[in-house]
Structure 1
């Protein structure tokens, strides 16, 4: 019996293992998929919950650093 994955809070950083460990921010549910948004902005993508894991502390640090760098360079608000 497969347990349903626990739904994360909006904004939690997750890793999409089906896309070369791409880190994204959880945005919500779209049918059977979870919507993730790139940390530095851009189009959301959908992923099956079985292909998602919580970002490690190092992955979160890298993502937050990339977001800060993009903000300071004026690439995102």
Structure 2
């Protein structure tokens, strides 16, 4: 028989260094660069300034999360080109 702590550990996703995550507070993707207690240090996937976030504000990135930035960029370019026609 297992106790509640084992079940909680199995359900909590492992957010290790190199994992692509979604910061629900800032609404951005980040790559885990380091961990310290319940804080994780993230950097944008394309590089940039690191920030820290609480583990409670993070979840593994979904396919939708991964595609959202590329789609937004594509839409912006599409809207920009139609302005000059």
- TM (norm. structure 2) is 0.58
CA distance in 1: counterparts of 2:67 and 2:20, whole angstroms: 10
Gaps of 5+ in 1: 66-77
Structure of larger gyration radius: 2
Number of equivalent positions: 63
Runs (4+) off by over 6 Å: none
- TM (norm. structure 1) is 0.63
Work out which structure has the larger RCO, using CA pairs closer than 8 Å and 6 or more positions apart in sequence: 1
Gaps of 5+ in 2: 71-85
2:50 is the alignment partner of 1:41: no
Q: Which has the higher helix share?
A: 2
